[in-house]
Amino acid sequence: MEPAISVDQLGSSLEEREEPGVPELLDVLRTVARDAGAAGWASEAVPLKRRVYRLRLNGGNAARSVILKRSEPAIAQVNRMVAERWLPALGLGDHCAPLLASASDREGQWLWQIYEDLGEDTLEREHDRPRVAAATDLIAELHVRGTGHALLPEVRSYGRDFGIAFFTANVGDAIRGLERIDGERTAQELRSLRARLLRRMYPLLADMPRRAEVLSEAGGPDTLLHGDLWRDNVFVTLSSEAARVQLIDWDHAGVGPLAYDLSTFLLRFPPAERRWILDRYREKLSGADLRLPSERELNVLFETAEYSRFANRVSWAAMAWLHEGAEWVAIELAEIERWFDDWRPTLAE
């Protein structure tokens, strides 16, 4: 059994990591532990990734743990709306991590959200065919039920719009940011990266009308999108009765063409596996009288989605350089350049 720690020890461990809002978080955690029938915490908060911790409860009838996640208020609000409003409205409320409580720091700059811990059963850890099939079915169900839903204007207001405007805005922001990276304080390596990435960005902007036409004709109706369907955001628990699929980290939830989510998901798998995943997804859509475009059109839509993400990363890196002189910017831009170099069509036509 893990040694229990006091509330003071828990607070100290978080403050040592320079986390904000610790007193407010501890007040809410006391309530969460009490509601769960726990005597306290089994150990200090274990960091899982930046701003995310696992905290094991101790004693009582609560042999479980919770996840602590710190976000900007706007992102926390999106996650709350997903858990408490949007997914329940689609009849999919059980397919995300239950949100147990929230706590804001005194300045209102950060919000802690406390979730039920879903464990370790992510697709990143286990991605055999039954699990991938179950995840594919849920993603298709999300897109089918979200298509044309009455809450989409609200989702668009709180979340993101992943239509052609997302592509145009990110490419434009990337170009403007790169064009300003210059001057004597800019190392030659960074100036060279800037020039090479601009040679990538200018043609993308010129190609926007063609991509907009393909999106208009083949992209299909807008739907609710998760926005970040990496395998470690997909939990699949198999039992003798059925598979339970839950999606976490809805920070980028929004509205747009289903190809945006589908692109992210397919690219997390080797090319040889994408065909059967796409076929299963297509079958689920056809049962709801929705159809996917041709694979040639899908490749254009997928490429547009991925180039939008590339450009978004470029624009944030450029901003970090221009406003903070961040030393990591050259490393980030070099990595993005490799993404462009390595890009291949998602589907073999």
pLDDT for the residue 229? 98
pLDDT confidence tier of residue 263, bands split at 50, 70 and 90: very high
Question: For 286-309, what is the mean pLDDT?
Answer: 95
Question: For 32-41, what is the mean pLDDT?
Answer: 84
pLDDT confidence tier of residue 74, bands split at 50, 70 and 90: very high
pLDDT for the residue 282? 96
Question: For 91-105, what is the mean pLDDT?
Answer: 97
The tokens describing 301, both together, are 């839509």
pLDDT for the residue 36? 84
pLDDT for the residue 35? 87
User: Is a pLDDT exceeding 70 seen at residue 3?
Assistant: no
pLDDT for the residue 59? 66
The tokens describing 154, both together, are 């609200």
For residue 102, report the phi and psi dihedrals to the nearest 5 degrees: -140, 155
The sign of the torsion formed by the CA atoms of 73, 120, 138, 307 equals positive
User: Is a pLDDT exceeding 90 seen at residue 133?
Assistant: yes
The tokens describing 252, both together, are 């980028």
Beta strands in 62-135 (DSSP E): 65-71, 99-104, 111-116
The percent of residues in the chain predicted with pLDDT above 70, rounded, is 97
Residue 40 or 17, more confident: 17
Q: What is the DSSP letter of 94?
A: G
User: Is a pLDDT exceeding 80 seen at residue 244?
Assistant: yes
> pLDDT tens-digit profile of 108-122?
999 999 999 999 999
What is the overall mean pLDDT for the chain?
94
CA distance 19 to 149: 39
pLDDT for the residue 58? 81
User: Is a pLDDT exceeding 70 seen at residue 62?
Assistant: no
Structural domains of the chain in order of their starting residue, each with its CATH number: 7-116 (3.30.200), 129-342 (3.90.1200.10)
pTM value? 0.94
pLDDT for the residue 61? 53
User: Is a pLDDT exceeding 70 seen at residue 316?
Assistant: yes
Least confident interval from 101-105, 118-122, 179-183, 264-268: 179-183
User: Is a pLDDT exceeding 80 seen at residue 60?
Assistant: no
Going by C-beta distance under 8 Å and a sequence separation of 6 or more, which residues neighbour residue 216? 164
Q: Which residues pair with 113 in a beta bridge?
A: 69, 102
User: Is a pLDDT exceeding 90 seen at residue 6?
Assistant: no
